[in-house]
Amino acid sequence: MKSKVAQPVALICTFTWIGFICAISFMEAWLKFRAPGVTLPIGLAIGRLVFAALNKVEWVFALAILISSVKTIRKTSINPFYIVVVLVLILQTTWLLPALDARAQLYIDGKNVPHANLHIYYVIAEGVKIISLFIFGSQLFKLEKA
């Protein structure tokens, strides 16, 4: 048995996307605050820039996957795990990231910011995205008899 990839661009984008999420959301996000001289306002300002850039890159990946899947979509429906990823990305883009950005700006401005669970929601959303992307990417491999 050998595996065949019907959508190599989608496969590359999917697993590269997972790498971006893991590197930025689960490493950079908290490590920057451990660097000497990085204050909370500086770390938050860096985070705002990095996560805005990540969000744009994620939309590029989502569109590249969709475009590379056009031939397959005509034959079947859109993969439900891809739909979950896009829905989470929409939620992050329209609500979660703007809310986190606004909170970060309040901290940067020296204002008192009440407790909120937005970071927990973001981590959960990233976990859902990673799991969905992994399942979607794994389904891009087709086993065939040699």
Q: Nearest to residue 92, comparing CAs of 65, 57, 64, 68?
A: 57
CA–CA separation, 4 vs 8, rounded Å?
9
Which pLDDT belongs to residue 122? 97
**38-51 b/e with 16+ CB inside 10 Å = b?**
eeeeebbbbbbeeb
Which pLDDT belongs to residue 141? 83
> Is the separation of the CB atoms in 32 and 38 below 8 Å?
yes
Which pLDDT belongs to residue 52? 97
Hey, where are the domains in the chain? 2-144
Query: For residue 81, what are its two tokens?
Result: 């795990």
Which pLDDT belongs to residue 142? 73
Q: Which residue ranges of the chain lie beneath pLDDT 70?
A: 1, 72-76, 143-146
With a pLDDT cut of 90, the percent of the chain lying above it is: 81
